[in-house]
Structure 1
Amino acid sequence: MHVVLAPDKFKGSLTAAEVATHLAAGLRSAVPGLDVREVPVADGGDGTLDAVVANGFRHVPVRATGPTGEPVDTGYAVRDGVAVVELADVSGLRRLPGAVLDPLHATSYGTGEVVRAALDAGVRTVVLGLGGSACTDGGAGMVQALGARLLDAEGRDLPPGGAALSTVDRVELDGLHPGVRTTEIVVASDVDNPLLGANGAAAVYGPQKGATPTQVRLLDNALARWATAVHRVSTVDGANLPGAGAAGGVGFAALTVLRARVRPGIGYLLDVLEFGKHLAGARLVVTGEGSLDEQTLRGKAPAGVAEAAAGVPVVAVAGRIEVAHVDLFAAMYALTDIEPDVRRCMTEAGPLLERLAAERLAKHLEVSP
């Protein structure tokens, strides 16, 4: 008998690997000698690199361009020819100096630099985790870093950022990294928004990145011009494809210029992590994230784990729970069940998870007489 621990991060408190470690400690304190398999997970957004490294991938450091031009130390993770790139770790909101938003000029260029490093290393597959981006540049920066040129009517290279796309006249792909043609590129994302319009990258996600209503309109128009320029050199009309609006439109550039295919974030990453091999003989699967809410049920990591559990009972843990009973889970437990002070739940999440595991989760392992 063993237990599989497959949590996502508790954002602002613990990484997915740390959550799993604390849950394991709590369970073993209640059930000495218990066989626990720790498989921390992610859905392609923040924390994806940490999760795959905790599962045996090797971290390869890369110094790349941050969302507003400053250098950041990031990298990719690799195992058996598969490289995982986390956009949020290089072009994400958390990489903005001083957390100062820059919706018009933030760029995905650094993400392209990390992808280029992986291609230079000769990997056979690049998994691009999208989420948490600081930019709304349609992935223009990413493809520029991979050798594409974006030119205005005077033949000048465009500067970084989504606003600059309002002057794009043509795209040249002759210098695109040769590895793009020979490497499988997969976008791991659960976002199905198109690039443009009321449900597009600028309208839906631009305000989260600091865009005012006027800037949202400017960015949407600029992205439309970008999409037209790309369509002239690509056989893929990608603006309306599901997922094109992911990560400020980086999904669009990945689908059209890099010829990537989109896979559901958590489902694909569970395959990459070989989650299924841990289920045979499992008595219980434990998953969770910082907040279990309506978003959890729309493709987030805990829901993906429950759907992949192949009939093994799944219990969810969280900092707080904002939904009623969910059929996916045999039970749900929150840190706020044992500590009503939300602030302490954030600052003392580790010890509280150990207590929750010992007091609540261990009961699911009791053998009925």
Structure 2
Amino acid sequence: MSMIELRGISKAWGDAVALHAIDLRIAPASFCVLLGPSGCGKSTTLRIIAGLETATAGQVLIGGADVTHRPPSQRGIAMVFQNYALFPHLSVAENIGFGLAVRKTPKAEARQRVEEAAALLGLSQLLQRKPGQLSGGQQQRVALGRALVARASVCLMDEPLSNLDAQLRQEMRHELRELQQRLGLTVVYVTHDQTEAMSMADQVVLLSQGRIEQNDAPRRAYARPASLFAARFIGTPPMNLLRLDAQGHILGSAVATGAPAGAAHLGVRPECVRLAPADQTAALRARVLSFEYLGADLVLRCEVGSEALTLRVDGQQNLQVGDELALQCAAGDLHFFDATGRRMDTGATAVPATDTGDARLPANAALAQRAAA
């Protein structure tokens, strides 16, 4: 098992800076996801770990050894690419064992390792087929098998599921995670898909414009976004971010939020906004602008003052565009951000560790009292 450490890693092409002095530690036998939009630096980071790119500054350590200037073949890693890079004229067995053949591994040993990897991935009956005779999921398994036969303790994956349909992606997420845990691999996985990140990772590293925006466990990244960017990027639907005036009121309304001095935005997750009795005077008033029926859930987009607010409610609710709603939210579910976009810690938002039931505060301790009429 190998720890990966990046110390002050920067990358620039002339005046174009891709990475700004990144520091990162990835624990042995963990699943780390580099998450972010296109152009944020996640693939560049992966390629620097792999040795496919050279950092402009900084060090790369794998298993405690400085590998900054070592070629990929001397880093003890395996890599799975987005396009699988399979040879169409070779069989599944030959594709899986290609690296072993290049390294002149004895034939008996190579055959055994290929068969072991094929059995692990459910490919034993397909070893004589060509890639063109395989489904997308089977091709992905072949690419993974080629990485596994190298018996490297570190496996790097660059958006390996992006070419699969939604259902197959979901199946392969489970398979990859189970395989990583069973073999004790240290996996670094690049994706722009937050569902992949949140469902697979032990550690989510969210990047934006070549900088680490947040580095956390998935649950904490969701519960305590470090910035407006993190709040917008993680969550479906994303967190509501309502602008506040200098008095801490939601813009265009008389609703006070209890915001700390200097707060510019109030954040609240759609599932944390609840419907309140219509006659509850302390409730927040909103008007339904649109809705999306998702079966078990109904996602409503509402107007609060001059701001838009999304909430997720039971799909059996009979609500229509134009309906006036009373809403409430526990004080512990509110997030505040300053004018620079950074989180302001008020001590109110707890990070859930276990399911302790619904301990929400009463409405009059929540999303603000309406100003006295």
Q: Compute the TM-score of the two structures, normalised by the length of structure 1.
A: 0.28
Structure index of larger Rg: 2
Q: Compute the TM-score of the two structures, normalised by the length of structure 2.
A: 0.27
**Between Structure 1 and Structure 2, which shows a larger proportion of strand residues?**
2
Which of the pair has the greater relative contact order for Cα pairs under 8 Å at 6+ separation? 1
